[in-house]
Amino acid sequence: MKFNTKLIHGGISEDQATGAVSIPIYRSSTFHQHKLGGEPKWEYARTGNPTRNALESLVTTLEGGVAGFAFASGSAAIHTVFSLFSSGDHIIIGNDVYGGTFRLVNKVLKRFGLEFTVVDTRDLSAIKAAIQDNTKAIYFETPTNPLLKITDIAAVAKIAKEHQLKTIVDNTFATPYNQNPLQLGVDIVVHSATKYLGGHSDVVAGLAITSDEDIAEELAFLQNSIGSVLGPDDSWLLMRGIKTLGARMRVHHENTQDIYNFLFSNKKVAKVYYPGNPNSEDYNIAKKQMRNFGAMISFELQPGLDTRKFVESLQLIDLAESLGGIESLIEVPAIMTHAAIPRDIRLKSGITDELIRLSVGIEDQEDLVDDLKQAFNKI
Ligand SMILES: *Cc1c(COP(=O)(O)O)cnc(C)c1O
């Protein structure tokens, strides 16, 4: 099966009890046991729910793993994955991760004795230099949020294997449509499925998929023990969204290329971040490991131009957090998604106060360009 067919027929593609083509929403919290002390397939819905299970099976297929797990949010998925480690363990983490992941690491996990070293994971020698006796894993995003930097996944996974470390990649921005880290040697992929996988800005969900049977067993244990599972209604909604991922991504990509060209040639724009820019330092690695460059663009206006006025002047493109929805969304990371990161750390990794992040939607591209044009005319 090719990828677009997998989106629709992958995993458990019909209800085993009734043949329903759309997997039903099983709301039952518990299941009748025919025999005392038997081993029923379903017993309690935190442990396993048929609707969630169908979703988990689908995303396992899409990422090419051995098992997948669905959570109440991307953050819950990431928290559960970090729970694989114990007090005193050390983890190398990318320097440009989602603001909420940065907060989870610094304000929560450090209190439980996990140690972290922040590294630009594009720099392989910096990764090697950060490895200690107690290092257990390398965690990163590629493309990163919001600067869209690209890390060579296969190269990092190779270093990790040499040192018996686990590699964990947040694949939210690329989606399995564009990139499959497990195929490049990674052990665990996490997603905020709130973004492209859900795709309609109407569900908060998270996923973790692994290529390793032992990790799968541990994650199943942790998912059940911690209990931050995705409910059946949201599991259904997410499956529904995933079915059109391919169709949506094709339009996202078309629009993004156009908007990138428009921004790149605009005199009021000082800088554009987009991995599909052939002159960007990361272009060759992006080309090697991604099927397309995704639909996120970040940019800065020329010094002195009013960023606030620009984003507030947009009429069609929504000023809002989040990304990956069918509607175009724009935001200023320093004030919105990345406000949790102290300013000096933010500036050091290149997230200036003026940086603008655009998630290109699937509206007609002329309308999007017209909206940008009228906002440029106001500054
Ligand atoms: C949004 C996001 C998260 C967090 O996911 P939630 O579903 O909001 O909890 C994690 N990683 C990335 C890259 C994200 O964009």
In CATH, 247-377 is 3.90.1150.10: yes
357 lines ligand 1 (CB under 6 A): no
Residue from 71, 73, 75, 190 whose mutation best tests the ligand 1 pocket (most atoms within 8 A of CB): 75
The CA distance from 24 to 203, in Å, is 17
Residue 170 in contact with ligand 1 by CB distance below 6 A: yes
Going by alpha carbons, the residue nearest to atom 4 of ligand 1 is 74
The confidence score (pLDDT) of residue 259 equals 97
What pLDDT is stored for residue 249 in this prediction?
Answer: 98
**What residue ranges of the chain have pLDDT lower than 70?**
none
Q: Which atom in ligand 1 lies closest to the alpha carbon of residue 194?
A: 7
Q: Is 74 in the pocket of ligand 1 (CB under 6 A)?
A: yes
- Residue 51 alpha carbon to ligand 1 centre in Å: 22
Compute φ and ψ for 287, nearest 5 degrees. -65, -35
pLDDT tens figures, 304-361: 999 999 999 999 999 999 999 999 999 999 999 888 788 998 898 889 999 999 999 9
The topology under which CATH files domain 3-243 is Aspartate Aminotransferase; domain 2 (3.40.640)
Tens of pLDDT along 143-178?
998 999 999 999 999 999 999 999 999 999 999 999
Phi/psi of residue 280, nearest 5 degrees: -75, 150
* Domain residue ranges in the chain: 3-243, 247-377
The full DSSP string for 221-269 is HHHHHH--BPPHHHHHHHHHHHHTHHHHHHHHHHHHHHHHHHHHT-TTE
Residue 75 Cα to ligand 1 midpoint, Å, equals: 6
- Does the beta carbon of 145 sit less than 6 angstroms from any atom of ligand 1? yes
Predicted local confidence at residue 281, as pLDDT: 85
CA distance 172 to 175: 5
146 cis-preceded (ω within 30 degrees of 0):
yes
Give the number of other CB atoms < 10 A from CB of residue 1.
10
Q: Can you give the pLDDT at residue 106?
A: 95
Question: Are the C-beta atoms of 30 and 45 separated by less than 8 Å?
Answer: yes
Say what the pLDDT of residue 337 is: 87
